[in-house]
Amino acid sequence: MTERVLSGMQPSADSLHLGNYLGAMVNWVQLQESYDAFFFIPDMHAITVAQDPADLAERVRRTAAQYIACGIDPERSTLFVQSHVPQHAQLAWVMICQTGMGEAGRMTQFKDKAAKSGSEHAGVGLFTYPMLQAADILLYQPHSVPVGEDQKQHVELTRNLAQRFNHRYGETFRVPELAVPASGARIYDLQNPTAKMSKSGESPNGLLNLMDTDKKMAKKIRSAVTDDGSEIRFDRAAKPGISNLLSIHSALSGKAPSELEEEYAGRMYGHLKVELAELVVERLGPVRDRALELLEDPGELDALLARGAQKARSAAEPVLAEVYQKVGFLPAAPG
């Protein structure tokens, strides 16, 4: 049987950024070649911080359109929206009931986000966020969960909860592997190249959005902060700006940074920027155009997500039913 993988990205912005694309999406698109892949949009996680309702609905569609435009094939993979599959919320409750206060309190993402909003004001949803994530994962019995470094602690918690449940109630869940399948490039902020590219970065010019116009993308690359000196060399410590541009080039062109160093030997920073800007536009322009095209027909997009949700529910239903039976819930009368 084909092994299964599952992952998701929050619909918390109008556009994915270059870090999401090169760090995760490119990898996901490859995974669907050899795995039974489930990709979903965690909209229930998104409301753990305040969201404008109209924006959220629109962002879920935009995120779905971008997944597909990047190459997630909804025929081959199961692409769905979390809130369309009620089993996520149902299993999350059971997971919450297996989790200790101390254990949940040690989650670094919770601590960071709670500190940001002032601990007293942080919502309880932020606290239970990782247990919902555990439910997302365990419902589908995946063999592994391709996520970035920052999500490893949540996958570790998921493993603990699965083992605990299996121990208490009998073998039920597959314990997902922590090993992240071949991770993608780590991309840094174009204006502040020692910080990870992120939608919460300080300068809008540091963030290259997939939905940016060609002109905007090219401009952001051309105005990227570079380093002292003039040599084009991959050296993260001494030359963070140039190294970031070389990583981006390498991820898009498939050429190793050492090969690029040779290619650019004796040339100036400006040459690298101009050529990289062209490469970025050539690769990402069509992705954006495809996403915009998909967004022109929201009815079709919604229909496609409905089919994905149906596939997801068929996979999730028997797992939840087994959990309900194992914890001792009285079976509900059919109908």
Q: Is residue 45 close enough to count as binding ligand TRP by CB under 6 A?
A: yes
Is 215 an annotated catalytic residue?
Answer: no
Which one of 4, 11, 15, 20 is in contact with ligand AMP (CB under 6 A)?
A: 20
- Tell me how far apart the terminal alpha carbons of the chain are, to the nearest angstrom: 33
**Binding-residue total with ligand AMP (CB under 6 A):** 13
To the nearest whole angstrom, how small is the minimum distance from the Cβ of residue 99 to ligand AMP?
A: 22
| Residues in region 117-156 near ligand AMP by CB under 6 A | 147-148
Residue type, 300: E
Report helix, strand or coil for 138. Answer: helix
Residue placing its CB nearer to ligand TRP in the complex, 61 or 88: 88
Selecting among 196, 219, 311, 326, the annotated active-site residue is 196
Antiparallel, parallel or unpaired: β 36-41 and 78-81 = parallel
Cβ-contact 153, 108 below 8 angstroms? yes
Residue placing its CB nearer to ligand TRP in the complex, 147 or 161: 147
Q: Is residue 8 close enough to count as binding ligand TRP by CB under 6 A?
A: yes
Give dist(CA 218, CA 223) in Å, integer.
Answer: 9
Q: Is residue 147 close enough to count as binding ligand TRP by CB under 6 A?
A: yes
Cβ-contact 304, 79 below 8 angstroms? yes
Is 199 an annotated catalytic residue?
Answer: yes
Residue type, 243: S
Q: Is residue 196 close enough to count as binding ligand AMP by CB under 6 A?
A: yes
Q: Is residue 9 close enough to count as binding ligand AMP by CB under 6 A?
A: yes
User: Could you tell me which of 16, 54, 79 has the C-alpha nearest to residue 301?
Assistant: 79
Q: Is residue 139 close enough to count as binding ligand TRP by CB under 6 A?
A: no
Which one of 137, 197, 277, 315 is in contact with ligand TRP (CB under 6 A)?
A: 137
Which residues lie closer than 8 Å to 4 by C-beta, 6 or more apart? 35, 36, 37, 38, 140, 141, 142, 143
Phi and psi angles of residue 116, each rounded to the nearest 5 degrees, phi first: -65, -40
* Three-class HEC string of 300-333: HHHHHHHHHHHHHHHHHHHHHHHHHHHHCCCCCC
Is 311 an annotated catalytic residue?
Answer: no
* Gyration radius (Cα) of the chain, Å: 21
Q: Is residue 10 close enough to count as binding ligand AMP by CB under 6 A?
A: yes
Cβ-contact 58, 12 below 8 angstroms? no
Q: Is residue 197 close enough to count as binding ligand AMP by CB under 6 A?
A: yes
Residue placing its CB nearer to ligand AMP in the complex, 186 or 307: 186
DSSP 191: S
Q: Is residue 128 close enough to count as binding ligand TRP by CB under 6 A?
A: no
Q: Is residue 315 close enough to count as binding ligand TRP by CB under 6 A?
A: no
To the nearest whole angstrom, how small is the minimum distance from the Cβ of residue 258 to ligand TRP?
A: 31
Selecting among 116, 152, 199, 273, the annotated active-site residue is 199
Give the binding site for ligand AMP (CB under 6 A): 9-10, 19-20, 23-24, 147-148, 186-187, 196-198
Give the binding site for ligand TRP (CB under 6 A): 6-10, 42, 45, 133, 136-137, 145, 147, 151
Residues marked as catalytic:
113, 196, 199
